[in-house]
Amino acid sequence: MLNQKHILLILTGGIAAYKCLDFIRRLRERGATVRCVMTKSAAEFVTPLSVQALSENPVYDDLFDLTQEDEIGHIKLSREADLVVVAPASADFLAKMANGLAGDLAGAVLLATDKPVLVAPAMNPFMWNHAATQRNVAQLKEDGIRFIGPETGEMAEKNEAGRGRLSDPLEIVAAIEDIFSTDILASKLTGKKVLITAGPTHEPIDPVRYIANRSSGKQGYAIAEAFLNAGASVTLVSGPVNLTAPQGVTLMPVETAQQMQDAVKAALPADIAIMAAAVADWRVDGASVEKIKKDGSGDIPPLSFTENPDILRELSLSDRRPALVVGFAAETQKVIEHATAKLDRKGADMIVANDVSSESAGGIGVMGGDENIIHLITKDGHETWDKMSKYDVARRLVDVIAAEVNK
């Protein structure tokens, strides 16, 4: 529900603007107050009168209109909102936003706001994929602006398809609810740089074989998404997984533990590090450059191992240590005891422990599955969370970590 939430909706030019009439209706159904600002080009696609009728509020469109400025003023308009939503956001408007242009009311409001901003782009796929647009989007994400979409599908133009469709109004509403449901503290993560590791590592035996583990990356990717939704700027160092990184995350794909450590170092400085990756403790000593062949003798090739760097421990002890370091612990027995020992050994501020034995927690299959049961270990003790989805674990971690960094 969005009861008593004030949404400031900025409509910019594009054929998808008509969908925003439904979007306004959905917001109102959920109890939100909606005020709208329209750019001149938005008014070419939908009439201010329709927007006004659905929002039941005056529509603002002119920075230099004395009556409008007298009634509310662009500073007040931006500050009285709990959230600013730009939908549809055209390529032109994204370019203006990325450069901080404030020549019209929409631009001025965005520059003056102190509230979270959610952008739902809609444009032709070629425009979306253009290097200039992608540069602008990257800049805006860096500035803490949240994005939803665009989606892939057919365009209004005949024979055009690809990524560029405005997200469904209900999905935009869900993204808004998600922003509000994240604890107020979480908004204090705006501008914080969070470094997350996820997934397994692959340690080569030869060019075609490797040693791996059962991590799917789901828990780490969920954490990346939750932190992104809480306004943080997220770098995700990921081992090989079959997942798509959330839009807006800076992804650094790696394969081995050594590459993961290099990527972690390259991603510094960071305010917060969360190490959810299942890093191989050992790698094959002197992996073969050529594929190891059966020679017919029945002899098994000897494999010897060497220790991988402990990425978490080295990060915790380094002089570039993030202010808050959170480790994970994957245990199959004495979960809390072993995880508590890791808190000290790894030099972390918190350990998120989970039972990864095959019969763990009623057989939910933490590695690869969609749910988890977490024991949060800190220097003050531990607490156990109920079984929940990996995304809910991530959301709760956002709250705990936001409270910790804002202490």
Residues noted as catalytic: 213
Q: Are strands 210-211 and 203-204 parallel, antiparallel or unpaired?
A: antiparallel
Task: By CB under 6 A, tell whether 8 contacts ligand PMT.
Answer: no
Using CB atoms within 10 Å of the CB of residue 100, give its burial: 0 to 12 exposed, 13 to 18 middle, 19+ buried. exposed
Contact 243, 221 (CB under 8 A): yes
CB 27 within 8 A of CB 11: no
Report in angstroms how near the CB of residue 215 gets to ligand PMT at its nearest.
4
Q: What gap in Å lies between CA 367 and CA 361, rounded to an integer?
A: 12
Smallest separation, CB 378 to ligand PMT (Å): 15
For the beta sheet containing 146-147, the strands, ordered from the edge strand earlier in sequence to the opposite edge, are: 59-60, 33-38, 6-11, 83-89, 117-121, 146-147
Least separation in angstroms between residue 272's CB and ligand PMT is 14
Identity of the residue, 126 or 305, whose beta carbon is nearer to ligand PMT in the bound complex = 305
| Angle subtended by helix axes 218-229 and 169-181, to nearest 10 | 90
Stretch that binds ligand PMT, among 2-10, 94-102, 217-225, 246-254 (CB under 6 A): 217-225
Rank residues 93 and 221 by Cβ distance to ligand PMT and give the closer one.
221
The answer to the question of residue 397 lying near ligand PMT (CB under 6 A) is no
Q: Does 276 bind ligand PMT (CB under 6 A)?
A: yes
To the nearest whole angstrom, how small is the minimum distance from the Cβ of residue 123 to ligand PMT?
34
Residue of 275, 284, 377, 398 interacting with ligand PMT (CB under 6 A): 275
347 binds ligand PMT (CB under 6 A): no
Part in contact with ligand PMT (CB under 6 A); list of ranges 4-12, 42-50, 117-125, 323-331: 323-331
- Residue 110 makes CB contacts below 8 A (sequence gap 6+) with 10, 78, 84, 86, 97, 102, 117
One residue of 86, 278, 324, 400 binding ligand PMT per CB under 6 A: 278
Residue 267 lies near ligand PMT (rule: CB under 6 A): no
**194 is an interface residue for ligand PMT by CB under 6 A:** no
| Stretch in the footprint of ligand PMT (CB under 6 A) among 12-20, 109-117, 159-167, 271-279 | 271-279
* Shortest reach from residue 271's CB to ligand PMT, in Å: 18
Cβ distance to ligand PMT smaller for residue 48 or 309:
309
Write out the two tokens for 134: 């992608």
Q: Is 136 in the site for ligand PMT (CB under 6 A)?
A: no
Exactly one of 55, 78, 216, 233 binds ligand PMT (CB under 6 A); that residue is 216
The amino acid at 355:
D
By residue count, the chain amounts to: 407
- Are 14 and 88 contacting, i.e. CB atoms less than 8 angstroms apart? yes
| Least distance from ligand PMT to the Cβ atom of residue 183, Å | 22
Window 355-384: contact mask with ligand PMT (x via CB under 6 A): -x---------xxx----------------
Near ligand PMT by CB under 6 A: residue from 219, 233, 238, 316: 219
Fill in the amino acid letter for 261: Q
Question: What separation in angstroms does the CA of 49 have from each of 18, 41, 59, 72?
Answer: 13, 15, 8, 19
Asked if 391 interacts with ligand PMT (CB under 6 A), we say: no
Per-residue interface string for the shown chain with ligand PMT, residues 245-264, x marking contact by CB under 6 A: ------------x-------
Q: Which of 193, 218, 283, 375 binds ligand PMT (CB under 6 A)?
A: 218
Q: For residues 57 and 389, give the distance between their C-alpha atoms in angstroms, rounded to a whole number.
A: 39
Q: H or E stretch including 342? A: helix 335-346
Sign of CA dihedral 282, 284, 289, 295: negative
d(C-alpha 393, C-alpha 374), whole Å: 8
State yes or no: residue 217 binds ligand PMT (CB under 6 A).
Answer: yes
Contact predicate 372/390, CB 8 Å = yes
96 touches ligand PMT (CB under 6 A): no
The two tokens of residue 272 are 């917060």
Q: Which is nearer to ligand PMT, 28 or 338 (CB)?
A: 338
| Interface with ligand PMT (CB under 6 A) | 197, 215-220, 257, 275-279, 281, 308, 310-312, 327-330, 342, 346, 354, 356, 366-368, 390
